[in-house]
Amino acid sequence: MNVCRDIITDYEELVAKADRKFQDMEKGYGDRIKCEIKCSDCCRSIFGLFLIESVYLNLEFGRLDRKKRREILQRVDKAQRELLEIEKRLQDGDQDNQALSMARERVRCPLLDEGGKCALYSVRPLTCRVYGIPTLISGKVRACWKAGFQEGREYPVYDLDGAYRELYQLSKKMLVRLGRKELDRASLLVPVSGSIKTPVEELLNPL
């Protein structure tokens, strides 16, 4: 992926900005943020990754030792079975209700180890990094249910919608750089389990 090094650098800077926003919130509203070691509520939420995130996570996963990769892949299989069961259960509802119901479901992220820690914490996706602070998602401000941010009061908000737009553009730029024709894949959201298990070439150019 050396040909996309500058795009990956842009992604890493976007993630770093999210980290800085979280750190700023900790300074001003630390008593309201409930994130702590082994708190794993965000690790059980269901959300997809943009292509740039999927490829990045896949490459970092490949750097783990074989034993750890094998343990994670066992959890990947379990997570994928649970996701499939949820999708089957919800497939008869309308799209809006499906999205709402899916947001309420919980599936353990395969990167969450038996000790309650993320196996790829330092390179975790952007959404994971801002879960504990107020974020703007689909035009609405949301925060972790454990957090102490009070409804009706104003707080600084991280624009997750804006970050998603940037992730989409980076994904599209990567596809163009690699000569891929299916640019609509830039809007595809891939679960963490699929991001880890699917070969990079297949993520970029499915069979």
Band of pLDDT at residue 90, cut at 50, 70 and 90:
confident
pLDDT exceeds 80 at position 7: yes
Closest CA to 51 of 159, 137, 164, 160: 164
**Predicted model pTM:** 0.89
Under 8 Å between Cβ of 11 and 53: yes
Mean pLDDT of the region 35-47: 83
User: Per-residue confidence at 89, pLDDT binned at 50, 70, 90?
Assistant: confident
> What is the tens place of the pLDDT at every residue in 42-79?
888 889 999 999 999 999 999 999 999 999 999 999 99
The predicted-structure confidence for 170-200, as pLDDT tens digits, reads as follows: 999 999 999 998 999 999 999 999 999 999 9
Output the CA–CA distances (angstroms, integers) from residue 9 to 12, 74, 79, 121, in the order listed: 5, 31, 30, 18
- CA distances from residue 197 to 65, 75, 101, 134, 186 in whole angstroms, order as listed: 15, 11, 25, 31, 19
Q: What local confidence, expressed as pLDDT, does residue 30 receive?
A: 82
Digit-coded pLDDT (tens) for 143-172:
877 787 888 788 999 999 999 999 999 999
Q: What pLDDT shows up at residue 96?
A: 53
**Predicted pLDDT of residue 95:** 57
Note the pLDDT of residue 154.
87
Spell out the domain ranges in the chain. Answer: 2-202
The count of other CB atoms within 10 Å of the CB of residue 135 is 21
pLDDT attached to residue 93: 60
What's the pLDDT at 92? 67
98-128 per-position pLDDT tens digit: 555 556 788 999 999 999 999 999 999 999 9
Residues 18, 23: Cα–Cα separation, whole Å: 9
pLDDT at 102: 57
Those residues with Cβ within 8 angstroms of residue 135's Cβ, 6 or more apart along the chain or in another chain: 141, 142, 143, 157, 158, 159, 160
Look over the chain and give the mean of its residue pLDDT values, rounded to a whole number: 89
